């Protein structure tokens, strides 16, 4: 047991626990209304939204998994950096429109928008179920980061993880989205301090970046299979499509959309798309921790342990504890937002639509709070009851699933030409084909080699699936529109997509 690291860890963990409960009084609103509990009343300005969305997207698993992939496989792990750079210019154009129409009509989830735009409960249900299914293992996966740092401090067994998630469940239930928003400020400051210290102290102790890169290249060559310090030509297309596909999928996840919908105006959303790349800079440094672990002589079969072991070796124990607290808190923030987003989807687009259409605001919020607890318990059972490798594989397919919502969500923001039934069939075809491609690899890889005209094209399966999805949607839309199949009622208007509310 590393008592110095553990003591510092506990102090900061208790600090954010107190903040989680205090947050219920911050920018106080009626938490018996789902817009107040699940979106904090849509009142967050530029700074709070920046911390919230940043804390939502750059998770503990990012802090652990990106350098772990660099540690184990080498250059392929660096795909996370270009994808988090490409994503912001794309969604700079898209998300302000989404925010405006959601604000105008009181939409809490993306599935709310789909139902309003296309007049289709079935399509909205498909979007909601996809979001929930893709989010559940993502929540579970946050625990791998927490497990890694707890194990590094000598806390074995499941009980520390269970205690942490009970605390998380209680303050999320009490404070809603305000809790992770307030905690995200502390968490991000801690991570930036840790990253700045790592990029200065560790290279100095290891003899500079020249030595780090040389040692990492030599170490990767000894791995079985060998890791690539520089990506080979056969990795170019998988690397590029994984980066681009991940970028397209990122803001389609329910938790990302929840963070955006909580903003106070279109201007806040735009500012955040301009400012959030600062996290990508930090991510580039974080990725290099994998190479630093190789250069430091860290040897572990569990690649997720590479960064915690590096911190213990190169930092004083007290500062390692500070870094571990940053990572663990970095697991709680996105886990809270993800559980809120999943519960919003269930409550709004499944429970209220199919079970209790006339639910009061208080009843709706009560159901959302209860479901957020169920989601956390489910995630905890998932990670404790199944091998971690299975959870990781499930997270990899999350992008395949979520990307199939792109035609309905993104195309639907700009045009009503696509037919609602065509969108539903295209979604189903994309989901089935994506899972099929993943299955052909034995559920071990999301890269699929497509054979076309005598050539082999290996790419991220999500890209192949969404291309087929779009083709099916376009062809069927032409047919359904030609034979005048009922398009459904569009409850939105062109002006709704440009609504502005001053921050």
Sequence spans of domains, the chain: 3-404
Rank 11-20, 76-85, 160-169, 472-481 by mean pLDDT and report only the highest: 472-481
Q: Compute the average pLDDT of residues 23-31.
A: 81
Confidence of residue 168 (pLDDT cuts 50, 70, 90): confident
Residue 425 has pLDDT above 80, yes or no: yes
Report the CATH fold assignment for 3-404.
Answer: Sodium/glucose cotransporter (1.20.1730)
Amino acid 224: pLDDT: 84
Highest mean pLDDT pick, 213-217, 221-225, 359-363: 213-217
**pLDDT exceeds cutoff 80 at 140:** no
Q: What is the mean pLDDT of residues 448-459?
A: 88
Say if residue 225 is preceded by a cis peptide, omega within 30 of 0.
yes
pLDDT of residue 443: 79
Retrieve residue 407's tokens.
Answer: 């035609």
Q: Which helix (H) or strand (E) holds 452?
A: strand 447-452
502 has pLDDT over 50 = no
Residues 300, 62: contact at Cβ < 8 Å?
no
Q: What pLDDT, on a 0 to 100 scale, did the predictor assign at position 386?
A: 56
Average pLDDT over residues 85-108: 94
Structure confidence at residue 444 (pLDDT): 79
Q: Looking at residue 240, what is its pLDDT?
A: 93
Residues 484 and 340: their CA atoms lie apart, in Å, by 39
Backbone region of residue 233 per phi and psi (left: phi > 0; alpha: psi in -120 to 50; beta: other values)? alpha
Query: Tens of pLDDT along 236-294?
Result: 999 999 999 999 999 999 999 999 999 999 999 999 999 998 888 888 889 999 999 99
Task: Give the confidence band of 226 by pLDDT, cuts at 50, 70, 90.
Answer: confident
On whether the CB atoms of residues 70 and 288 are closer than 8 A, the answer is yes
Residue 501 has pLDDT above 80, yes or no: no
Q: Poorest-confidence range of 98-112, 349-363, 403-417?
A: 349-363
**Closest to 120 measured CA to CA, from 376, 438, 485, 466:** 485
Q: Where are the beta strands (DSSP E) in 26-130?
A: none
- Residue 256 host element (H or E): helix 254-261
Query: For 193-200, what is the mean pLDDT?
Result: 92
Q: What is the pLDDT of residue 390?
A: 46
pLDDT value of position 383: 67
Q: Which residue has the tokens 């928003």?
A: 181
Does this model's pTM top 0.85? My answer is yes
pLDDT at 394: 63
Query: How far is residue 238 from each of residues 145, 209, 464, measured CA to CA in Å?
Result: 26, 27, 12
Classify residue 56 by burial, with Cβ atoms within 10 Å: 0-12, 13-18, 19+: buried
User: What is d(CA 323, CA 12) in angstroms, rounded to the nearest whole number?
Assistant: 10
Cβ atoms of 139 and 376 closer than 8 Å: yes
**Which percentage of the chain shows pLDDT scores above 70?**
96
Decide: 413 and 98 in contact? Cβ < 8 Å.
yes
pLDDT above 80 (res 59):
no
- What's the whole-number average pLDDT of the chain? 89
303 contacts: CB under 8 Å, gap ≥ 6? 68, 69, 71, 72
Q: Where is average pLDDT lowest: 74-88, 133-147, 181-195, 214-228? A: 133-147
Query: How far does CA 364 lie from the centroid of its chain?
Result: 25
Q: Note the pLDDT of residue 347.
A: 94
């Amino acid at each position: 047991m590393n008592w110095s690291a553990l003591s510092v860890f506990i102090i900061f963990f208790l600090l954010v626990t107190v903040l989680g409960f205090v947050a219920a009084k911050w920018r106080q609103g009626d938490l018996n209304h789902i817009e107040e509990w699940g979106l904090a009343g849509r009142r967050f300005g530029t700074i709070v939204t920046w911390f919230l969305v940043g804390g939502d997207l750059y998770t503990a698993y990012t802090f652990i998994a990106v350098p772990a992939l660099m540690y184990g496989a080498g250059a392929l792990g660096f795909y996370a950096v270009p994808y988090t750079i490409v994503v912001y210019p794309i969604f700079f154009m898209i998300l302000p429109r989404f925010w405006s129409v959601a604000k105008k009509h009181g939409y809490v989830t993306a599935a709310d928008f789909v139902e309003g735009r296309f007049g289709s409960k079935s399509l909205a249900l498909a979007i909601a179920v996809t979001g929930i299914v893709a989010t559940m293992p993502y929540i579970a996966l946050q625990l791998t980061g927490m497990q890694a740092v707890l194990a590094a401090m000598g806390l074995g067994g499941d009980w520390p993880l269970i205690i942490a998630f009970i605390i998380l469940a209680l303050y999320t239930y009490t404070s809603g989205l305000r809790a992770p928003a307030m905690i995200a400020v502390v968490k991000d400051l801690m991570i930036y301090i840790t990253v700045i210290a790592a990029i200065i102290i560790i290279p100095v102790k290891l003899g500079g970046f020249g030595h780090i890169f040389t040692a990492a290249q030599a170490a990767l060559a000894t791995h079985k299979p060998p890791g690539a310090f520089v990506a080979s030509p056969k990795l170019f297309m998988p690397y590029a499509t994984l980066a681009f596909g991940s970028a397209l999928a990122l803001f389609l996840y329910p938790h990302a959309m929840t963070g955006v919908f909580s903003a106070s105006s279109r201007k806040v959303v735009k500012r955040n798309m301009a400012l959030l790349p600062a996290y990508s800079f930090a991510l580039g440094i974080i990725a290099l921790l994998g190479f630093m672990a190789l250069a430091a002589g860290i040897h572990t079969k569990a690649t997720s342990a590479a960064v915690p072991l590096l911190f213990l070796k190169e930092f004083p124990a007290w500062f390692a504890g500070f870094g571990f607290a940053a990572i663990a808190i970095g697991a709680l923030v996105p886990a809270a937002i993800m559980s809120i987003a999943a519960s919003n989807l269930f409550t709004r687009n499944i429970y209220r639509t199919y079970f209790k259409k006339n639910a009061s605001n208080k009843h709706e919020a009560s159901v959302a709070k209860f479901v957020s607890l169920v989601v956390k318990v489910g995630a905890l059972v998932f990670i404790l009851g199944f091998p971690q490798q299975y959870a990781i594989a499930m997270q990899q397919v999350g992008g395949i699933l979520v990307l199939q919502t792109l035609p309905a969500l993104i195309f639907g923001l700009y045009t009503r030409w696509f037919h609602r039934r065509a969108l539903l069939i295209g979604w189903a075809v994309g989901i089935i084909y994506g899972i099929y491609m993943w299955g052909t690899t034995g559920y071990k890889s999301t890269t699929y080699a497509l054979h076309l005209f005598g050539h082999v094209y290996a790419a991220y399966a999500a890209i192949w699936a969404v291309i087929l999805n779009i083709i099916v949607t376009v062809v069927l839309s032409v047919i359904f529109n030609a034979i005048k199949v009922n398009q459904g009622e569009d409850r939105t208007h062109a002006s709704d997509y440009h609504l502005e509310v001053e921050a």
